Structure 1
Amino acid sequence: MAPPRSVRHRRFSIPHDALGPRLRSALRALPLGVPLAAGMLCAGLIDAAVSEPAHARGEQPAAGVASAPVGDPPPDLGRADNEPAEAAADDHDVLAGPLPAAAEASSAARALTTRDAALEARIDRLLVDGKTPYGAVVVMDAHTSRVVAVAEHSTRGPSDGLALRPLAPAASVFKVVTASALLAAGVDADDDACFHGGRTRMTARLLKDDPRRDRCIPFADVLPKSANVAIAKLASRKLTPTSLRAEAARWGFGVRFADVSGLVPSSAVIPDEPFAFAEAAAGFGDVKISALHGAVIASVVANDGVLVRPVFDAGVEPDAPVRVIATRHARALKKMLTETVTDGTARRAFRQGPRLPVSAAGKTGSLTDYETGLDTSWFVGFAPAEAPQFIVSALVVNTARWHIKASWLAKEALRLTVEQRGAAQARSRVASR
C-alpha cells in the first residue's frame, strides 16, 4: 500500500545492545544494502494515515530533550514529589507512587508454570498462518494477573523475546496513559476537544486554536477515534512533563514489574520542549513497550485502576494490588476502550471472521516506516468488556505485503482463550461436584 504523498518520515534509533545476541548475529549475516531497521526494531516509524493519522516531522529533536536507552528509566521518571496524587483520587482511593521493582521468586515457587501449553499452541498457529514477520501475544487472567499464554513468531528469524522486551514503539497505546493523566488533571469525558488537521502530519501550528477550521468532539471520543491532534492539544494545555512522567511511572514504565527471565523494563522519554512533549503525549515520542507491558496497561483499566503484577509461576501468589488511577477514571477509560471496539479504530477487525462470543474493549496503535516498509500495529485490551476475565496484548510488525494485523490477532486470541479456558473452567466445575 503506497503511503500518502504528503507523508514524510522521521528516523529514530535503538541502541545495538538492546537487540539481543541472536538478532545481532542474524543482522550481521544480512547482505549489504538490507536496512538494519528491517529487523524488529520498528525504528523511524510514523503514524499510519488510515486508522490513525500519520506523523511527519523531519526536524531534529530540540536541545534539552531528554533521552534514555531502551529498558532504562528515563530521567526523572516517576519523581512526583510536587504532584498531589491523592487530589485526583476518589475519597476511598489513594494512588501509589512509582511502581517498585518485583521481588525475586524462590526456586520452589518456579516449579510450575501458569501458562496453558495447548492455548499457546493455538495462538502460535495464528501467528504462523498469518505469516507475521514479527509477532507476539500475551494473555493474562484479569483477576489474578497469572500469565495464561505467551506466543512469539517470526518469519525472518528468531523473535528474540519480543513479548518481554520493549523493542517496539508504544504508538497510540501510550494515549491511554495520557488520557489517564488528563482525567486526573480535571478533564471530563464530556468536555469538548477541538482541533483541525492531523490526518497526514502533525505540526506545532495545529496545536493552536482556529475557530474557522476546528471541529469539536467529546473527550470521551478521543481514544476510540485515536485523535492525535486533539489529545496533543489537551496535553499541551493541561499537563506538564513532570506530571506525565509521574503518570508513566505509576503505569509501570522504567520498572521490571515481574520476576521472569528475559523481561526488560519499558521506557518513556518525556521531553521538556513544548511541541516534542505534545507529540510524546499523543504517542509519537520515544516510548517503547513489550507485549507484556501492553497487557499490564490493559489490566489496569480492566481492574478499575489497580495494577496486579504479572505472575508466571503457579507457586507464586499474586502481589497485593497497587492503585494506579482513581476508580472513576478507570471506569471512564473502560467506556472509551469499549467504544474503540464497537465504533472506533478496532471496529472493523472485530467484525471480520468468526465473531468473539463476548464483548471486548481495548486500544489500538499503528505506526508505519515508509522507508523500510515496516508497519507496526498494537491491540491491548480485555474481554468481556463489562466484567473482564481475560487480558490480551497483541503486537504485529508487517512488511508492505501483510496478512494480519494486531486487532484481528487479539480478537482471535481472545476467542480461542474464551473457548478453551471457558471449557476448562466448565470441566473443573463438573469435577468438583
Structure 2
Amino acid sequence: MNQAIRHTWVVAVALLVLILGSLTYVQFFESGRLQANPWNSRNLLQQFSSDRGPILVDGQQIAYSQPSNDQYDYQRVYRDPQLYAPLTGFYSLLNMTGLEQELNPLLNGSSDQLFYDRITQVLSGNQPRGASVELTIDPQLQKLAYDALGNQKGSIVALNPKTGEILAMVSKPSYDPNAIATHDTARAKQAYESLAQNPNNPLFNRAIGGNLYAPGSVFKLIDTAAALESGKYDPNSVLDNPAELKLPGTNATLPNYRFGGCGARTKVDFSFALEQSCNTPFASIAMDLGQDAIADEAKKFGFGEQLSIPLSVTPSIFPKNLNDAQLAQSAIGQFDVRATPLQIAMMSAAIANNGVQMKPNLIKVVRAPDLTPVSTFKPEQLRTSTSQQTANQIRDWMVNVVDKGIAGAAAVPGVKVAGKTGTAELSAQGLNNAWFTGFAPADNPQIAVAIVVENVDVATGVAMTSPTAKRLFEAVLNK
C-alpha cells in the first residue's frame, strides 16, 4: 500500500515539475517567438489597436492611422499612395514592408528611444503612441519625377550631394498600399497576390532593389576615375578610338557607340570620348589597367556595399573572374555589371562633392508623440571615392558632355550642368535601358540625379532622360 502511494506521489511530483517547466519555458524562452507569430490573433489585436505614428513629407502625412469601426482600433491609411508606396511600403494584417517595416519599433512606440515617453504615457493613463517620422523627400520634386516617367517602367533618384539627403525616389510601376492595409484579410490577400504575380513587379522599389540594371555608359565615369588615379593616364592622354575593338579570345568585336560622333575620329582625348560616349577607348583602358583596378574603383564608389537608408539597398555588382573580353564589356556597363539607380546617383554625387561620397538617407527627423525630437538628420561621410583633383577633372568633362556632347537636352540656361548618358542594350530588337546621371550647378552642386527608363528604343530614351534631368535641376535651382 505504502509503495503504491509513493509511486503516485512520484508521478504527481513529476507531472508538477513538467507543468512548471513547460510554463517557464513558454514564458521565458518562447514568448518572443509566440509574440511574433503572425497567427497570434491577440498580438494582431494589440498591434492594430495602437496609435501608430505617421510618416510625413514636408509636414504632410503620407501614412497615418485613423480610428476604425471594427475589432481593431485603427486603420492605416496612405495618401498619394502610388507616389510614395515604394518608400512607405504597407502595414497590414498579412505583413509589412518598406519604411513601415524598417521603422516599425519607432512607429509602434516600442523603440528604446521612446522608453521615457512610454513611461510618461502609462503613468498619465494615456494609451502609448508611436513616433512620427519626417522624410527628406521634396514633395514637388517627387511629383515631378513621378510624372516624368509617364507610363514607362523605370526609376529616378535625386540627392543633395553635399549631405546625402534623398530629395526624390521614384519607382514605376507603383501600387496602392491601401488595398493591402485593409482589415478584410481575404481582400488584403487577394490584393497582395495580384501585385506579387504581376510580371511588371510593382512591389519592387527599382531605385534600390529588384533585378537591378546594367548601367551602360554611365559606368565610364568609373573607368575614367580609375584611369586618372592609376597614373598611367592624364587629362592630355590620347586614346585609340577604332570603330570596332576585337575582343580577345573570341571572334566577336565591340562596336563603338553608333548614335554620337565617335566615328569622326580614330584618336580622341577623354573629353571627346565622354562627350560622345565612345565605347572602344574605355574598353581598351579597362583591359590595360586590368580587372582589379576597375573593380577597386567601383568599390570606392560604393559597388558591393550593403546600405541602409534605412530601407535596405541591394548591393550593386561588378563581376569577378573576368577574362579580357568580359572586362571590355563590363567597362561599358554591360556583361554582368548591375547597379541600382541610387548607386549611380551616389556616383555622380561623389564627383560633385570633390570626390567625397556622403551616406544617402531618407529620414529628416523623428519626433516623440509630444513632438520632442528623438533624432535628427546629420550628414555622414561614407568614404573618399576619388581625389579632389580627379573629381574636378571629371566634373569639367561632364560639363562638356552637356555643353558639347550628346546630353545637350539637360542644359539649363545660365547654369553649368554636368551629365553623362548611358544606353544598356537589352536585346537584338533594339530595346535598351536609357540612363542619365549628373548634377547642377557644376560649380556649387545642389542636386545629383540618376534616371533610368526601361525597355525603350534610343529615340525614346533620349527624349525622356536628359530633358527630365533638366526639369529636375530647374525645380531645385528655381526655389
TM-score (ref. length: structure 1):
0.64
Please name the residue that 1:119 is paired with: 141
Gaps of 5+ in 2: 1-101, 107-112, 114-130, 175-199, 255-263, 365-375
Shift of 1:411: 1.8
From 350, 370, 390, give the equivalent of 2:410: 350
Please name the residue that 1:332 is paired with: 393
Distance 1:271 1:343 in 2: 37
Give SS of 2:149's match: helix
| CA distance 1:363–1:271, change in 2 (3 Å) | farther
Shift of 1:291: 1.1
Question: Which letter does structure 2 place at the counterpart of 1:306?
Answer: V
From 338, 349, 362, give the equivalent of 1:299: 349
Please name the residue that 1:188 is paired with: 234
RMSD: 2.7
From 282, 301, 306, give the equivalent of 1:231: 282
Distance 1:370 1:356 in 2: 37
Please name the residue that 1:138 is paired with: 157
1:333-390 Cα distance to aligned partner (Å, 9 max, x none): 111111111111212x236xxx555221011111233446532111111001122111
Question: Which letter does structure 1 place at the counterpart of 2:205?
Answer: G
Q: Give the conservation status (yes or no) of the 8 Å contact 2:247–2:324.
A: no
2:381 matches 1:320? yes
Give SS of 1:111's match: strand
Please name the residue that 2:475 is paired with: 416
Please list, as runs of the form range in 1=range in 2, the aligned pairs for 1:176-255 lying within 5 A after superposition: 176-186=221-231, 187-198=233-244, 203-204=247-248, 215-237=266-288, 239-255=289-305
From 164, 172, 175, give the equivalent of 2:208: 164
Distance 2:456 2:468 in 1: 16
From 421, 428, 434, give the equivalent of 1:377: 434
| CA distance 1:329–1:263, change in 2 (3 Å) | same
Deviates more, 1:382-391 or 1:104-113: 104-113
Question: Which letter does structure 1 place at the counterpart of 2:380?
Answer: D
Gaps of 5+ in 1: 1-103, 208-212, 423-433
Q: Give the conservation status (yes or no) of the 8 Å contact 2:157–2:450.
A: yes
Distance 2:456 2:393 in 1: 35
Question: Which letter does structure 1 place at the counterpart of 2:418?
Answer: A
Distance 1:372 1:226 in 2: 21
Q: Give the conservation status (yes or no) of the 8 Å contact 2:215–2:424.
A: no
Shift of 1:140: 1.1
1:138-169 Cα distance to aligned partner (Å, 9 max, x none): 11112111011112223956262111126211
Please name the residue that 2:29 is paired with: none
Distance 2:469 2:321 in 1: 32
Q: Give the conservation status (yes or no) of the 8 Å contact 1:110–1:316.
A: no
Give SS of 1:331's match: helix
Distance 1:362 1:270 in 2: 28
2:314 matches 1:264? yes
Give SS of 1:284's match: coil
Distance 1:119 1:245 in 2: 33
Distance 2:424 2:447 in 1: 26
| CA distance 1:329–1:150, change in 2 (3 Å) | same
Identity of aligned residues (%): 25
Q: Give the conservation status (yes or no) of the 8 Å contact 2:158–2:168.
A: yes
Distance 1:323 1:289 in 2: 20
Question: Which letter does structure 2 place at the counterpart of 1:147?
Answer: I
User: Bigger radius of gyration, 1 or 2?
Assistant: 2
1:46-74 Cα distance to aligned partner (Å, 9 max, x none): xxxxxxxxxxxxxxxxxxxxxxxxxxxxx
| CA distance 1:159–1:124, change in 2 (3 Å) | farther
| CA distance 1:410–1:215, change in 2 (3 Å) | same
Distance 1:214 1:396 in 2: 30
Give SS of 1:136's match: strand
1:387-426 Cα distance to aligned partner (Å, 9 max, x none): 211111111114459484322222222222323xx2xxxx
| CA distance 1:228–1:399, change in 2 (3 Å) | closer
Question: Which letter does structure 2 place at the counterpart of 1:299?
Answer: A
Shift of 1:215: 1.8
Number of corresponding residues: 302
1:169-216 Cα distance to aligned partner (Å, 9 max, x none): 111111111111110112111110023113xx8644879xxxxx9821
Give SS of 1:269's match: coil
1:238-281 Cα distance to aligned partner (Å, 9 max, x none): x1212222111111011123332242111111443122212212
Shift of 1:287: 0.9
Question: Which letter does structure 2 place at the counterpart of 1:310?
Answer: P
Shift of 1:318: 1.7
Please name the residue that 2:38 is paired with: none
Q: Give the conservation status (yes or no) of the 8 Å contact 1:195–1:214.
A: yes
| CA distance 1:142–1:214, change in 2 (3 Å) | closer
Shift of 1:285: 2.7
Q: Give the conservation status (yes or no) of the 8 Å contact 2:355–2:385.
A: yes
Shift of 1:122: 2.4
2:234 matches 1:174? no
Question: Which letter does structure 2 place at the counterpart of 1:192?
Answer: V
| CA distance 1:367–1:272, change in 2 (3 Å) | closer
Deviates more, 1:400-409 or 1:147-156: 400-409
Distance 2:276 2:320 in 1: 23
| CA distance 1:252–1:321, change in 2 (3 Å) | closer
Question: Which letter does structure 1 place at the counterpart of 2:445?
Answer: P
From 151, 176, 191, give the equivalent of 2:170: 151
1:10-39 Cα distance to aligned partner (Å, 9 max, x none): xxxxxxxxxxxxxxxxxxxxxxxxxxxxxx
